[in-house]
A and B are shown apart, each in its own frame.
Chain A
């Protein structure tokens, strides 16, 4: 028997107590003064030969809780198997559709190249519906996401394909989860109702702060503010149907992070419970990047503070808890996930320029997926994890970091390929150095000692 390689310990209460967390099994325990000598001995020696019945009982309990493992247990193989199972998940089909690569906004931090003449043709719509008819019956759940560009510039296309997906899902008894990532400028009551009737209840709309800030960071392409219409759209949406949920996203950096409280105060309290707040650091350009212009602990502290504030104000704050049992790092690692561009090319990662040179496959005239084998293999063929991941205690939570960053060797804003943007809140706290704080909160401990023992 030996100690698990995935134990994390955090001293609390002047060192008189210890939090013990196992990232593989998800066990979280608090050890009091009476337990400490035995626990510290266990952690420092890896495990030990029991000399007394009490020792034997203690070790048996540690084994049961996953803090200790049998000598035959290969914990790395357990994590590798999880990743393989997650990548080949046969139950869910993730389809992200880009009906155009055009946008009516000109956000300075946007990573996309927009083309005003890009829009999906009837022929590509037909191929996508053929693809859905062929694929959906093989799965239990369809996750259909609309992205772009700005998808609502092609509202009719969104409705046509969503309605087809809804019809196929209903006939095949497949669950549909629909969502739209939109800048929110083009909504009205008719469009909101039309999308809800297609089974789309989840929306992400970004507001970067009160009007004077948002209008600077999310202006119209031809100039002009957008706050008032976006703000009104959010109210229209949540009042359309009680099943509607809006992720109210704030893209922040050093220039706007402290305007979050002012923004939160602007929404009517009656709709706040339908708004799930999501604060995301801006990445990319160094002048605008949050991680390039703010210290990680500062970001982490502010996130804790503003999420707590939002929760107190009645907003939906769902941070996802500790990501125990994560199978893949993100959707792009799943084999049955496709981003379909307006010309019918298929991609994996949504942070892309969607150049034809990067596609991994395309839809043929029958809606069948034709792989560009070399690019498909390049995406899926890389090692499951980078070498240094194997010695990282957080590996079962993060599952290896961003595949695109790994392929391109790019800077992610943290010490490894874990990206502090868009990852779940717990993964952000790992990247930004606030994970021990999160553990303390999860266990109800308030008097954390700021010192690590690992």
Chain B
């Protein structure tokens, strides 16, 4: 079995949304995720 991506620990998943999270960690999570609210808001604009 070849592992392409390793499992994420639950503490890693929650880290950026927990009290006292590091600012850089929060920013990198927001940018890396490229989720709906980072790239564009919902609505045909």
Q: Which residues of A contact B (CB under 8 A)?
A: 20, 22, 25-32, 35, 39, 61, 64-66, 78, 82, 85-86, 89-92, 94, 96, 107, 109-112, 140-141, 143, 145, 147, 175, 177, 181, 183, 204, 206, 247, 249, 251, 276, 278, 280, 282-284, 318-327, 330-332, 337, 349-351, 419, 421-424, 442-444
> Is A141 within 8 A of B40, CB to CB?
no
Contact digits for B1-33, partner A, Cβ 8 Å, 1 yes 0 no: 111111110101110111101010011001011
Across-interface contacts of A325 in B (CB, < 8 A)? 8, 12-13
Q: 22 A-B Cβ contacts within 8 A? A: A20-B1, A25-B7, A32-B2, A39-B1, A86-B17, A91-B17, A110-B45, A147-B45, A181-B41, A204-B39, A251-B44, A280-B44, A320-B32, A320-B33, A321-B32, A330-B35, A330-B36, A331-B36, A351-B43, A419-B42, A422-B36, A442-B4
Q: Is the CB of B44 within 8 A of A94?
A: no
For B30, give its contact among A27, A141, A147 (CB under 8 Å). Answer: A141
How many A-B contacts if CB must be within 8 Å? Answer: 159
Q: How many interface residues does B have (CB within 8 Å)?
A: 35
CA distance A284 to B39 in the complex (A): 21
Q: A91-B26, A249-B40 are in contact. Are A204 and B45 (CB under 8 A)?
A: yes
Whether A26 pairs with B35 at a CB distance below 8 angstroms is: no
Residue contact B33 to A330, C-beta cutoff 8 Å: no
User: Which residue of chain A lies nearest to B33 when distances are taken between CB atoms in the complex?
Assistant: A320
Q: Residues of B at under 8 Å CB distance from A?
A: 1-8, 10, 12-14, 16-19, 21, 23, 26-27, 30, 32-45
Q: A82-B13, A91-B21, A140-B21 are in contact. Are A65 and B41 (CB under 8 A)?
A: no
Provide the residues of chain A in CB contact with B38, threshold 8 Å.
143, 177
Task: Tell me if A323 and B35 are in contact (CB < 8 A).
Answer: yes
A419 vs B36: C-alpha distance in the bound complex, in angstroms?
Answer: 11
| Interface pair B26/A31, CB less than 8 Å apart | no
Instruction: Give A329 to B23 CA distance when docked, in angstroms.
Output: 22
Q: Kindly state the separation between the CA atoms of A337 and B38 in the bound complex, as whole angstroms.
A: 13
Pair A323/B33 contact, Cβ less than 8 Å: yes
New A-B contacts (16) at CB < 8 Å, excluding given A321-B32, A322-B5:
A25-B8, A26-B7, A30-B1, A31-B1, A110-B44, A110-B45, A111-B43, A175-B27, A249-B40, A251-B45, A278-B39, A284-B44, A320-B35, A327-B17, A422-B36, A424-B36
**Residues of chain A with a CB closer than 8 A to B30's CB:** 92, 141, 143, 177
